[in-house]
Amino acid sequence: MNSNKNIVCISRPGKEPLHLPQMLFLRQIRCRGSHTGLRQFSGGYTILEVVVAVVILTISTSVLMSFLVAGDKIFGRNIAIENAALLARNEAEMLKAAASQLESIDDTEYEIETGGRLFYIKRHVLETEALDSIIGNYPVKTVEIQIFKDREAEKPLTSFTLLQGYGIR
């Protein structure tokens, strides 16, 4: 009976052990330990176990991929905001240069491409009163610079307000 490696007798406490004709329905079952009656299949994984493992792996992979996609969107938005801030700083520097040459600064709107994206820039100039100081009276303009991702956008990506002086009157 023990010569068959796939089927070994199953001991039952207080009863006769099961013999081969009685165990035919128990394919490839072995006794473990010191004949305690514990049974274990000697084959590999069942189809159900493989399917459950694949489903768990698929779900966890899809969750991880959704996090990566969200991270890419956030990164892309940050790059757009950094480019918009750079454009606004450039516009402020151009205004300072124009003010030093006493050139007029007017309201304007235009589009510019940077970093592979098209941005829409609005500049609005407000006349303000002159600032009095110890050494004189200075004319000042308040300039608002807004950078939009396109013409139809309601909210700007970034906005600067600049107080620009124009020499002595």
35 with 71, same domain: the answer is no
Percent of the chain past pLDDT 70, that is, above it, reads 66
39 with 55, same domain: the answer is no
109 with 133, same domain: the answer is yes
37 with 58, same domain: the answer is no
95 with 149, same domain: the answer is yes
Of the pLDDT bands very low, low, confident and very high (cuts 50, 70, 90), residue 27 is: very low
Count up the domains in the chain and report the number: 2
Q: Please provide the DSSP assignment of 17-68 as one string.
A: PP-GGGGTTSTTEEE-TTT---EEE-S---HHHHHHHHHHHHHHHHHHHHHH
User: How many CB atoms within 10 Å of residue 109?
Assistant: 12
Percent of the chain past pLDDT 90, that is, above it, reads 21
57 with 96, same domain: the answer is yes
17 with 54, same domain: the answer is no
38 with 74, same domain: the answer is no
Distance of CA 151 to the CA centre of its chain: 26
23 with 105, same domain: the answer is no
Token pair, residue 153, equals 């956008």
31 with 73, same domain: the answer is no
- What is the tens place of the pLDDT at every residue in 58-86? 999 999 999 999 999 999 888 888 888 89
Name the β-bridge partners of 50.
Answer: none
Cα pseudo-dihedral 132, 133, 135, 137, rounded to 10: -20
- What is the tens place of the pLDDT at every residue in 114-160? 878 889 999 988 877 666 656 666 677 888 999 998 888 889 988 88
- What is the tens place of the pLDDT at every residue in 6-25? 445 555 566 666 555 554 54
User: How many CB atoms within 10 Å of residue 61?
Assistant: 10
User: How many CB atoms within 10 Å of residue 95?
Assistant: 20
68 with 7, same domain: the answer is no
Enclosing domain of residue 90: 49-165
DSSP 94: H
25 with 103, same domain: the answer is no
| Res 32 pLDDT > 60 | no
Averaged pLDDT, 84-106: 83
